[in-house]
Structure 1
Amino acid sequence: MTATAAVSLRGVSAAHGATQGRPIDLDVDPGARVWISGPSGVGKTSLLYVIGALTRAVRGTVTIGGSTVGSARDADVVRRHHVGFVLQDAQLVEHWSVRRNLATMAGEDRYPAAAERLSSWGVDVEGRQPRSLSGGERQRVVTAGALAKGAAVIVADEPTSSLDESARDSVIAAFLEASRAGAAVVVSSHDSAWAGWATQHVRLGGPDA
């Protein structure tokens, strides 16, 4: 692990995919932008979940924010204090309002910034329930919440899969802004639009995996 790494993997294998046979070493410094690519089924999401302490590595050492993820308790602390999440299914609590979902993800004190970002993306929050949102709107709500949290590490799984080109470009620009503010951002995506954004590329299932 480098002295400044926000995330460090050493000999890590995730539960599924290419890293089972080819363990990975990876350092992600603050401000770095990592794009994980590869064909379907190669384990992009599995690796991303390990990086975000959502699941445990099958083998190897994972260090996030200076803390080694060696137990379920370690993982819980890391998730709450160091990581923001944008998951592919854009999970929201259906019986909560959109506002409550967003405030819970971002933190109540950061809610205004998250709501302002969503408004700039054309998504109204106040008075709405999750059932009224389209798939793309849900994705943007989760993204705005993760960005506003101010976490040191942001992990995102196919964060633009439900977006048109204009909305996609706005989200990519927002992740660029987060990295410039010091966050380490790790994105798993099939979309080659992330290639020009990334400072590091991890391709799974290929010769440089």
Structure 2
Amino acid sequence: MTSPAVTLRGVSAAHGATRDRPLDLDIVPGSRVWISGPSGVGKTSLLYVIGAMTLAQRGAVTVGGVAVSSSRVADQVRRDHVGFVLQDAQLVEHWTVERNLATMAGYDNAPQALERLESWGVPVEGRHPRSLSGGERQRIVTAGALAKGASVIVTDEPTSSLDETSRDAVIEAFRDAADAGAAVVVSSHDSAWSAWATQHVRLGRTDG
């Protein structure tokens, strides 16, 4: 039996549906998990708990076999096990794209990210984030997260700024990452993820 990459037991996030309705969840390696639900329901809050970006308000979270019991442990778990694609594509504006990718993915893995971006038609050589469109920034962060080779990849609306062709290429890239053994967790309003997902977590409306 495959050990889960992520385990939640009685977990409540700071905001949204799980605050009052704690969640149990097992995410095994190779899973493609889609978190859906209306705005304000706590999709991003849950995603941040799964990726050890924030601590759960209640319950037990294990990522990569490590209990996320403190901020110090969470920092280590993020470094060792998790890749991120956040809705606000966070890049250091005064660094080149190449340096940003090296920081996200590791210097040895940066060429792989650059190769992926070239295949997606995103020119980056010598460019800085301030010269990029929103869609280009999203794909750069996605390429960096994928190249890191993390066992858990958490993504928040990774295709919100993309046209249909670019969106489909990114969805396929996340499918490939899961096929290679990563647990990929996507929070998104976009129903295009439905056919991609092997596991669906739908959060209901909050009571206010």
Pick the TM interval, shorter chain: over 0.9
Compared CA separation, residues 166 and 3, structure 1 to 2 (3 A) = closer
Residue 39 of structure 1 aligns with which residue? 38
Aligned mates of 1:129, 1:86 — CA distance in 2? 18
Residue 156 of structure 1 aligns with which residue? 155
Aligned mates of 1:156, 1:163 — CA distance in 2? 14
Residue 166 of structure 2 aligns with which residue? 167
CA contact (8 A) 2:151 2:183 kept: yes
Residue 202 of structure 1 aligns with which residue? 201
Does residue 92 (structure 1) correspond to residue 130 (structure 2)? The answer is no
Q: Which runs of 5+ in 1 are unaligned?
A: none
Q: How does 1:59-208 map to 2 (within 5 A)?
A: 59-205=58-204
Q: Kindly tell me the number of residue pairs found equivalent between the two proteins.
A: 205
- Matched residue of 1:99: which SS? helix
Aligned mates of 1:73, 1:56 — CA distance in 2? 11
TM (normalized to structure 1)? 0.97
Residue 22 of structure 1 aligns with which residue? 21
Aligned mates of 2:137, 2:203 — CA distance in 1? 28
Q: Which runs of 5+ in 2 are unaligned?
A: none
Q: Displacement, 1:84? A: 0.1
Q: Displacement, 1:3? A: 5.3
Aligned mates of 2:11, 2:92 — CA distance in 1? 32
Aligned mates of 2:106, 2:125 — CA distance in 1? 16
- Matched residue of 2:171: which SS? helix
Q: Displacement, 1:64? A: 0.1
TM (normalized to structure 2)? 0.97
- Matched residue of 2:201: which SS? strand
Aligned partner letter, 2:72 = R
Aligned partner letter, 2:61 = V
Runs of 4+ in 1 over 3 A off after TM superposition: none
